[in-house]
């Protein structure tokens, strides 16, 4: 937000400064669909039945990962577990605010160990728990579900458990003003939404809640009709009987747990199509009118992003609008809050860019969340420039003006204060860094390298060392000092790519 000059009187501050926050958002936003050539295929169908596709057999080998202990949030996750498939069956009672669930977690033990653990909120009561069909002992230690059964390295197991309770969101390690908790969130009329970065999936299912462990998902949600449960991937079942709507969702490309979403409410479905023929599903609250056209700008934004980063990396795409105040790049199903800022075309474009930078290729450790936000912020700035929302030069100038204060307050983007997750330092500073490289090598070469990075690491979780190596080998330049200054340095680097 803009700072008000201290010389202004109180009244002048009130009259002049207004209440908008997000200084870069102009009052009137051109819809991207309006500024690209109108295309009959992009006409939005009125409220429509949601297309259901057949369930397929999951290919567990796709989900093999190398889990690590997180350096920023080591209390969450267990590197002994490599989850392959979460098969969840969730029944939601909005009046009783009660979740009744069963989970089958298929995992690979990464090492031979006398016990292992998943994350699960202590407020959820666990009933029957079995490992490969055998009842085994377990203990709860805070958010850890400790399973007292030996496992052998590189062997696959099925952990089955029932659990129930009223899920509560987890305190978020941040001072951001658009969220203070993560995970399963219940509105005052019993709807559900989730946003769970950097962790918080454990508020509603047993999970290895750390981003290096990507896994597949089969999620079934039962909710009182006409409410509908929404999750990631393709809709493979939709059935209403006995006043209950049952939806089944299948995510067939592996995702980190922070990219999983669940939303339950009175939703209607509509869709449109990208130029390449990808259907984009919109799940919006029944009766929502204002902002709907902005949400449906997603198809045109995908066309634009594909011109920079290459083809959309997944085989389905949807957006769900919830009562959040933020917006989240949950894989193949964006979770959007409901205010003018998060429903603006450029914020939706931001979450869509994350499908490439963040979801297709994810950070292995939360120290590298800047890998997601830096490139995405730069692409959002370019989007704003090319859609006449804000010139790139203005975004860069504003970013440079903010950079030092952000480093002072939150730390460098690659060594941030763990209590300040998601500060603007992980967005602005690395966006400025990537922009210097873009200026140095030119747009065509910049995006060629940005695409080749995604191709080389498709479906995996990565570290900063890997991306540094990639850019050095692709550009033929020695960039280690450049990267270090931007990512872990205490002061704003000078412009350009200086040697040494």
Please, what is the minimum distance in Å from the beta carbon of residue 38 to other proteins? 27
Vertex 221: Cα angle to 219 and 222 (nearest 5)? 155
Pick the closer one to other proteins by CB: 349 or 364: 349
Q: How far is CA 245 from CA 56, 240, 295, 416, in A?
A: 21, 4, 25, 44
Q: What is the dihedral of CA 36, 37, 41, 47, to 10 degrees?
A: 50
Please, what is the minimum distance in Å from the beta carbon of residue 88 to other proteins? 22
| Cβ atoms 492, 407 nearer than 8 A | yes
Strand partners, 248: 220, 237
| Cβ atoms 241, 155 nearer than 8 A | no
Query: Distance from CA of residue 52 to its chain's centroid?
Result: 24
Please, what is the minimum distance in Å from the beta carbon of residue 345 to other proteins? 12
Containing 176, the helix (H) or strand (E) segment is none
Report the SS3 class of residue 450. Answer: helix
Please, what is the minimum distance in Å from the beta carbon of residue 322 to other proteins? 7
Please, what is the minimum distance in Å from the beta carbon of residue 189 to other proteins? 5
Pick the closer one to other proteins by CB: 350 or 438: 350
Pick the closer one to other proteins by CB: 195 or 255: 195
The set of residues, in sequence order, having a beta carbon less than 8 Å from that of 131 and lying 6+ positions away, is: 147, 149, 157, 158, 159, 160
Pick the closer one to other proteins by CB: 116 or 356: 356
Q: What is the DSSP letter of 207?
A: B
Pick the closer one to other proteins by CB: 269 or 350: 350
What the block records as the tokens of 154 is: 């590189």
Question: Half-sphere exposure (CA, 13 Å, Cβ side) for 166?
Answer: 8
From CA 129, how far away is CA 114, in angstroms rounded?
17
Pick the closer one to other proteins by CB: 112 or 177: 177
Strand partners, 153: none
Neighbours of 234 (CB within 10 A): 22
Pick the closer one to other proteins by CB: 3 or 494: 3
Pick the closer one to other proteins by CB: 205 or 427: 427
Please, what is the minimum distance in Å from the beta carbon of residue 326 to other proteins? 6
Among residues 380, 387, 468, 390, the alpha carbon closest in space to that of 424 is found at 380
Please, what is the minimum distance in Å from the beta carbon of residue 218 to other proteins? 25
Neighbours of 7 (CB within 10 A): 6
Pick the closer one to other proteins by CB: 58 or 429: 429
Pick the closer one to other proteins by CB: 209 or 351: 351
Containing 333, the helix (H) or strand (E) segment is strand 333-336
Please, what is the minimum distance in Å from the beta carbon of residue 275 to other proteins? 25
Strand partners, 140: 145
Among residues 29, 32, 26, the alpha carbon closest in space to that of 301 is found at 32
Pick the closer one to other proteins by CB: 100 or 187: 187
**Max CA separation in the chain (angstroms):** 72
What the block records as the tokens of 334 is: 């964006």
Pick the closer one to other proteins by CB: 178 or 484: 178
Please, what is the minimum distance in Å from the beta carbon of residue 239 to other proteins? 22
* Residue reference for tokens 């999936």: 201
Please, what is the minimum distance in Å from the beta carbon of residue 206 to other proteins? 24
Q: How far apart are the first and last CA of the chain?
A: 35
Query: Distance from CA of residue 330 to its chain's centroid?
Result: 4
Strand partners, 146: 117, 139
Please, what is the minimum distance in Å from the beta carbon of residue 330 to other proteins? 10
Query: Distance from CA of residue 317 to its chain's centroid?
Result: 13
Please, what is the minimum distance in Å from the beta carbon of residue 163 to other proteins? 24
Task: State the residues that interact with other proteins by CB under 8 A.
Answer: 1, 3-4, 6, 8-10, 13-14, 17-25, 175-178, 187-189, 191, 193, 195, 197, 265-266, 284-288, 290, 321-323, 325-329, 337-342, 347, 350-351, 373, 377, 398, 402, 405-406, 408-409, 422-424, 427-428
């Amino acid at each position: 937000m803009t700072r008000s000059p201290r010389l202004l009187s109180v009244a002048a501050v009130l009259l002049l400064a207004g209440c908008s926050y997000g200084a870069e958002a102009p009052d009137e936003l051109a819809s991207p669909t309006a500024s690209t050539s109108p295309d009959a295929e992009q006409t939005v169908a009125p409220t429509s039945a949601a297309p259901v596709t057949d369930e397929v057999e999951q290919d567990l080998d796709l989900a093999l990962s190398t889990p690590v202990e997180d350096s920023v949030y080591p209390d969450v996750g267990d590197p002994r577990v490599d989850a392959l498939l979460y098969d969840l069956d969730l029944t939601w009672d909005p009046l009783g605010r009660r979740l009744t669930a069963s989970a089958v977690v298929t995992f690979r033990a990464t090492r031979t160990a006398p016990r292992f653990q998943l994350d699960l909120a202590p407020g959820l009561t666990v009933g029957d728990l079995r490992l490969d069909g055998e009842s085994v002992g377990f203990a709860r230690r805070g958010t850890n579900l400790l399973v007292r059964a030996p496992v052998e390295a590189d062997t696959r197991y099925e952990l089955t458990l029932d659990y129930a309770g009223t899920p509560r969101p987890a305190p978020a390690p941040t001072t951001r003003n658009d969220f203070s908790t993560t995970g399963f969130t219940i509105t005052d009329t019993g709807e559900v939404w989730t946003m769970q970065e950097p962790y918080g999936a454990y508020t509603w299912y047993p999970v290895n809640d750390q981003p290096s462990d990507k896994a597949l998902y089969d999620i079934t949600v039962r909710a009182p009709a006409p409410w509908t449960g929404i999750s990631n991937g393709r809709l493979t079942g939709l059935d209403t009987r006995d006043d209950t709507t049952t939806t089944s969702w299948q995510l067939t490309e592996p995702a980190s747990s922070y990219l999983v979403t669940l939303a339950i409410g009175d939703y209607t479905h509509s869709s449109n199509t990208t130029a390449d023929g990808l259907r984009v599903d919109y799940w919006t609250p029944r009766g929502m009118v204002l902002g709907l056209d902005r949400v449906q700008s997603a198809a045109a934004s995908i066309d634009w992003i594909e011109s920079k980063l290459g083809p959309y990396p997944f085989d389905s795409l949807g957006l769900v609008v919830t009562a959040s105040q933020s917006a989240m790049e949950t894989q193949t199903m964006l979770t959007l809050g409901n205010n003018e800022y998060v429903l603006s075309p450029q914020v939706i474009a931001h979450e869509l860019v994350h499908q490439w930078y963040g979801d297709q290729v994810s950070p292995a450790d939360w120290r590298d969340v800047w890998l997601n936000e830096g490139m995405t912020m730069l692409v959002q700035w370019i989007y704003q420039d090319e859609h006449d929302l804000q010139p790139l030069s203005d975004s860069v100038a504003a970013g440079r003006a903010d950079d030092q204060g952000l480093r002072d307050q939150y730390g460098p983007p690659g060594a941030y204060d763990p209590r300040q997750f998601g500060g603007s330092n992980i967005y602005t500073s690395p966006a400025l860094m990537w922009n210097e490289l873009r200026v140095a090598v030119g747009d065509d070469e910049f995006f060629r390298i940005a695409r080749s990075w995604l191709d080389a690491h498709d479906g995996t979780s990565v570290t900063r060392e890997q991306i540094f190596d990639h850019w050095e080998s692709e550009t033929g330049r020695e960039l280690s000092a450049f990267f270090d200054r931007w990512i872990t340095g205490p002061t704003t680097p000078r412009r350009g790519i200086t040697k040494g």
